[in-house]
């Protein structure tokens, strides 16, 4: 018997939603793992690239957890998990950039200085700093005030998501183009849905 607060169809819809999210993350990873381009890459470069792919997938989960939009997951639990997965996202970004630095320091320096001839590099750097900014703001809510913090964190997240999506779609690498585009669209859509749900820009009503 289902709990009284659920209809019989709700658990099935929840599982279907989880399956869609899981496939949206897993399929691009699996297809990337089968790319023939991997045969010509160094192990460190491959690890750095997949750290970036996993970070993109993590960005699909982050807004859904923050806004309580994942079925069968209470909002309070989702927000706690959001903090831990946010830390994992920062670690993945560091692994991504660090691995690229090991394989080609001049390219990373050019990217960080925004003088790289490849446009996707600049978008990646913007996204990186936005991720770091959003994570850094996680320790400042009480000092900044809740309204200012919500808007600053949301702005950093939106910039990180847009920068990451543009960065990803411009790279001709191991990711399969269609599933890559669908994952980027999913990340953008989930972020927009979460921002709308949380009304991050709206002033709080006084009691």
58, pLDDT greater than 80 = yes
Domain total of the chain: 1
Mean pLDDT of 70-96: 92
Query: In this predicted structure, what is the pLDDT of residue 203?
Result: 61
2 domain residue, yes or no: no
Q: Which two tokens stand for residue 50?
A: 């997949």
**7: helix, strand or coil:** coil
71 domain residue, yes or no: yes
6 domain residue, yes or no: no
Radius of gyration (Cα) for the chain, nearest Å?
18
**162: helix, strand or coil:** helix
Mean pLDDT of 65-73: 88
5 domain residue, yes or no: no
Query: What CATH number does residue 63 fall under?
Result: 1.20.950
Q: What is the largest CA-CA distance in the chain?
A: 62
Instruction: Domain of residue 178: give its range.
Output: 18-198
Q: Roughly what angle, to the nearest 10 degrees, separates helices 119-137 and 105-112?
A: 70
Which residues, 6 or more positions from 183, have their beta carbon under 8 angstroms from its beta carbon? 24, 25, 28, 56, 57, 60, 168
Query: In this predicted structure, what is the pLDDT of residue 9?
Result: 63
22 domain residue, yes or no: yes
């Amino acid at each position: 018997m289902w709990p009284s607060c659920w209809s019989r169809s709700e658990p099935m819809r929840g599982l279907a939603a989880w399956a869609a999210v899981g496939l949206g993350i897993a399929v691009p990873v699996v297809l990337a793992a089968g790319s023939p381009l991997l045969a010509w890459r160094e192990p460190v470069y491959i690890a750095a690239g997949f750290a970036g792919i996993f970070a993109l997938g993590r960005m699909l989960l982050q807004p859904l957890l923050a806004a309580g939009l994942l079925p069968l997951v209470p909002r309070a639990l989702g927000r706690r998990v959001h903090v831990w997965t946010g830390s994992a996202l920062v670690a993945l970004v560091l692994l991504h950039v660090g691995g690229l630095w090991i394989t080609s320091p001049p390219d990373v320096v050019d990217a960080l200085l925004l003088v790289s001839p490849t446009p996707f590099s600049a978008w990646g750097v913007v996204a990186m700093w936005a991720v770091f900014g959003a994570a850094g703001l996680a320790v400042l809510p009480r000092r900044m005030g809740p309204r200012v913090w919500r808007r600053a964190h949301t702005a950093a997240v939106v910039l990180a998501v847009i920068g990451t999506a543009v960065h990803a779609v411009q790279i001709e690498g191991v990711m399969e183009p269609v599933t890559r585009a669908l994952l980027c669209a999913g990340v953008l859509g989930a972020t927009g849905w979460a921002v709308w749900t949380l009304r991050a820009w709206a002033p709080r009503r006084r009691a």
